[in-house]
A and B are shown apart, each in its own frame.
Chain A
Amino acid sequence: AQSVTQPDIHITVSEGASLELRCNYSYGATPYLFWYVQSPGQGLQLLLKYFSGDTLVQGIKGFEAEFKRSQSSFNLRKPSVHWSDAAEYFCAVGASLQGAQKLVFGQGTRLTINP
């Protein structure tokens, strides 16, 4: 069965510092991978997605993620975080069956930014 692991429940970084959020997945075929962000009391917003091709994917708000098949990883990075990046981040794998939509999410990583 498909699964996603985000090893870090909570990460704190200083404003202006670099960020890396880890994500490992388990999926039998070529995965469709996503990173979503959720601000308190809000729904999820897509940051970026990987379907195929270039393993380094650029997203919105200055985020990027790198797909590494050998490590079953899809880590999210940002060179310099801003206070507004404080939120919860979810990695997900697409687990669609016969066209039906389904995402399997990791448990999330809560990001706190120190001023």
Chain B
Amino acid sequence: KAGVTQTPRYLIKTRGQQVTLSCSPISGHRSVSWYQQTPGQGLQFLFEYFSETQRNKGNFPGRFSGRQFSNSRSEMNVSTLELGDSALYLCASSLGQANEKLFFGSGTQLSVL
């Protein structure tokens, strides 16, 4: 069974641009969560989608948004990029039950110049 796939692996953008990251969950998984990882703030929860609906959202500005498609694939978008958005963005999938284990992708490393 294929794991969680995130594309692209690396991304370089400049301030003010917008970016879209993609995540394909494990087959059969209906929940996709996104996390931001930085050296200073560690791992922080962005949001979680289940069956195309956002179920939970972290404490991030509205510039961060996401969506989930009917095949459970998810995208997250960051608009008006800031230098502080440079981070590893991790996607995780699961069946969608509360507090079950998450399966993580290798992440997208975003650098904002």
Contact = CB atoms under 8 A, between A and B. Distances in A.
Query: Do chains A and B stick together as partners?
Result: yes
Contacts of A97: 56
B34 to A, nearest CB: 11
Given A43-B107, A97-B56, A103 B102 contact: yes
B66 to A, nearest CB: 13
Contact of A101 (B44, B90, B102, B107): B102
Give the interface centre of A44, A46, A90, A98 by most chain B CB atoms within 10 Å. Answer: A44
Range for the number of chain B residues in contact with chain A: 20 to 34
B48 to A, nearest CB: 5
Given A43-B105, A44-B104, A99 B45 contact: no
Contact of A94 (B98, B105, B106): B98
B15 interface: no
B81 interface: no
B70 interface: no
Give the interface centre of B96, B98, B103 by most chain A CB atoms within 10 Å. Answer: B98
12 contacts: A32-B99, A42-B106, A43-B107, A46-B102, A94-B98, A100-B48, A100-B56, A101-B50, A101-B56, A101-B100, A108-B42, A108-B43
B42 A102 contact: no
Given A100-B55, A101-B48, A103-B45, A43 B94 contact: no
Contact of A43 (B4, B31, B33, B99): B4
B106 A43 contact: yes
B42 A106 contact: yes
A91 to B, nearest CB: 11
Nearest 4 pairs of A and B residues by beta carbon? A43-B104, A100-B55, A94-B99, A100-B56
Contacts of A42: 106-107
A45 interface: yes
